[in-house]
Each structure stands twice: as C-alpha cells, then as structure tokens.
Amino acid sequence: MQKRDKISLSVIRRLPRYYRFLDDLRSNDILRISSRELSERMGITASQIRQDLNCFGEFGQQGYGYNVDLLYNEICKILGVEKGYKTIMIGAGNLGRAIATHMNFGRLGFNLIGIFDNNEYVIGKKLMGIEILPNENLESFCGEYNPTAAILCIPKDSAQEMCDQLIHFGIIGFWNFSHYDLGLLNPNIVVENVHLGDSLMILSYRMQKQMEDVK
Ligand code: NAI
C-alpha cells in the first residue's frame, strides 16, 4: 500500500491551504522553502507541517527544506485537482449564480456542465454560457453526460429529496449549500455540507474572547 492511502481526513482538510500557499510560491518562482519559513508564513508549527507532509512521502530534506514543485504536484495528485469531475448545479438563485460565476472549478478538479432550476423565470437563461434547464431534464441529462458531482444551492426543504434523486442518477459527490446536513446511509456517497455562517459564528466567538482578554 502506498503511504498516501493512509492519510487521515484531518490532514486532508489542511491540504487545500498548503495547495494555495504553494501555488502562490510557484507563481513567485520560489523553488524551495525551509520548514521554518513555511511554518512562519502559514502560521502552523514546523512540527505540524512535518507531521502533515510526512504522511505522503519524504519531501523535506535536512538543510534544504521543501521542494515547492514536488510538494505542490503531490498535493494536486492527492486532492485530485486534475480529475475534472463532471458537475451539475441545482438552484440558480443568488447563491448558485455567485458560485457558478466566481468559483474557478477547473483549477479545483471540477467541470460544471449543467445547471438546473424549477423556476420558469430562470429556466432558459444562461449562466456562464450554460443554459439553465428544468428539473424534468435531470434524468436524461445525467443519462447522457454522466456527471458524478452535484452542487446543491436550493432551500433545505427540498435538499434531501433532490439528493436521493441525484444518487439514483449516478451522482456520488455532493457540495451541499442548502442549510440542511444531508444524512446519507449510502457508504458510496460523499458529502461536503457547507455553512458559511459557521465560520462567521466562530469569528463572533473569537472576537468576544479577544474583547474579554483586553479588558
Ligand atoms: P434564491 O431563492 O435566490 O435561489 C434559490 C433557487 O433555487 C431559485 O432559483 C429556485 O427557483 C431554486 N429552487 C428551489 N427549489 C428547487 C428545486 N427543488 N429544484 C431546483 N431548483 C430549485 O436563494 P439563494 O440565496 O440562492 O440561497 C439558496 C439556498 O442556500 C437557501 O436555502 C439559503 O438558505 C442557502 N444558503 C446557504 C448558505 C451556506 O453557507 N450554506 C449561504 C447562503 C444561502
């Protein structure tokens, strides 16, 4: 078994941050970085970085630091950013439009190929060059193009039902923005529930703490 098969999800959750950081170093033509510098610039302890990166190979060298390209390529492979998973979006309202417009799906491993909505005023319009289709077309669309990922930008009331339907049509990965934590009994399906408000509440907690500490 390759070493990387054993990487824990908590390490995986930190990888996008390394990815962004290394991408930045590469665009500034920085070829290597010491673990101390990496640690200072990322605000993570050097030992945490060593632990994280050692999970998938021997990248750091004593006295040399990390080879930026090697590390970047390995993280790309682990995260699968070159997979280009065919993806559909359900719900082309304010949030759906913002996500479709501003996310650079191609760089993140996804390829948005279809957008669906159930509102007659939205259907037929174009978003990022993609015609918004009615839900009735979902089955035939999935049958023809075989998307494997879905982005849910619909209200929570319809999220679970939509999810069940999409599983039936072959979707295995859900990026779920509806304010509903999709509960899945199906072990072959993966879900990332996103609640932007959670991050804001953490900010609130930390601000509160900061204000108490300076009193
Ligand atoms: P919106 O009302 O602007 O858009 C919702 C769109 O979904 C509409 O175009 C509507 O026609 C469509 N829709 C509703 N039910 C559908 C169904 N069963 N199938 C296909 N299309 C359907 O709302 P907005 O602002 O885009 O937000 C969408 C959802 O995301 C809301 O439930 C909101 O609470 C949630 N939200 C979640 C956030 C998060 O961090 N997870 C952040 C912001 C909003």
Q: What architecture is domain 4-77?
A: Orthogonal Bundle (1.10)
Question: What are the residue ranges of CATH 3.40.50.720 in the chain?
Answer: 85-198
Ligand 1 in reach of 90 Cβ (< 6 A): yes
* Chain segment 2-49, per-residue pLDDT in tens: 455 677 888 889 899 999 999 999 999 999 988 888 888 888 898 888
* Chain segment 138-150, per-residue pLDDT in tens: 999 999 999 999 9
CA–CA gap between residue 197 and residue 9 (Å, rounded): 22
* Chain segment 48-57, per-residue pLDDT in tens: 888 888 877 7
pLDDT value at 87 more than 60 = yes
CA–CA gap between residue 135 and residue 176 (Å, rounded): 17
Name residue 85's beta-bridge partners: 110
Ligand 1 in reach of 156 Cβ (< 6 A): yes
Task: Tell me the best of 116, 177, 180 to mutate to test the pocket of ligand 1, counting ligand atoms within 8 Å of each CB and taking the most.
Answer: 177
* Chain segment 157-205, per-residue pLDDT in tens: 999 999 999 999 999 999 999 998 887 677 889 999 999 999 999 999 9
Question: What pLDDT is attached to residue 49?
Answer: 86
212 C-alpha to ligand 1 centroid (Å): 37
Name the CATH code of domain 85-198 (choices 3.30.365.10, 3.40.50.720, 3.40.50.2300, 3.40.50.970): 3.40.50.720
The per-residue DSSP string of 149-177 comes to EEEE-S-GGGHHHHHHHHHHTT--EEEE-
Token pair in block for residue 165: 């339907």
Candidates 174, 199, 154, 24; CA nearest to 85 is 174
